[in-house]
Structure 1
């Protein structure tokens, strides 16, 4: 119990920052109009390309005989790629809705 309390005391600034970030994120997201929600989410999915880069770096640093780490890295690359591609597909569909129809 003392270890847990000392952990909270030593990292109180970071814990406070996380709590404030949670409340700020909830406030920002709740004030986004419904019209903008889908384009913002698709853009956020596209930003998740960082996950792909990070998983590739981790796979490069992993021991070649550690199949568990390589498998998790491969899964992260696949899921990150699906997220990025899905973000671009949703963005493309949203942009198609605003184009004028040809006669």
Structure 2
């Protein structure tokens, strides 16, 4: 392995560990707003993966680009789904229809 690849891999692993620690410390009540705010960050990651795909020249590079693009796309879609669900909590609930008189009771 080249020294550049090894240092990049070490940086990636450190970023995973730091990200996991930061996310695990966030209270459950803040996860939904955090997800909706992170959509733009994951969009940038997706664009970066597409740009890197243009210069990838090995099988390992292609696999890493695919994994990065797949995870970023899942995060973007998941973030929008969670945001839609969160905004749905603030929509007015439909009023129930008036109960119709039971049949056979009219005299």
TM class by shorter chain equals 0.5 to 0.7
TM-score, normalised via structure 2 length: 0.58
Q: How does 1:14-93 map to 2 (within 5 A)?
A: 34=29, 37-47=30-40, 48-63=42-57, 66-93=58-85
For structure 2, the 5+ residue unaligned runs are 1-21, 96-107
Which residue of the partner structure matches residue 98 of structure 1?
A: 90
Structure (1 or 2) with the larger CA radius of gyration: 2
User: Which has the larger share of helix?
Assistant: 1
Q: CA RMSD in A?
A: 2.3
TM-score, normalised via structure 1 length: 0.60
For structure 1, the 5+ residue unaligned runs are 1-25
Separation (CA, whole Å) in 1 of partners of 2:88 and 2:82: 10
- Which structure's relative contact order is higher, taking Cα pairs within 8 Å and 6+ residues apart? 1
Which residue of the partner structure matches residue 9 of structure 1?
A: none
Q: How does 1:3-14 map to 2 (within 5 A)?
A: none
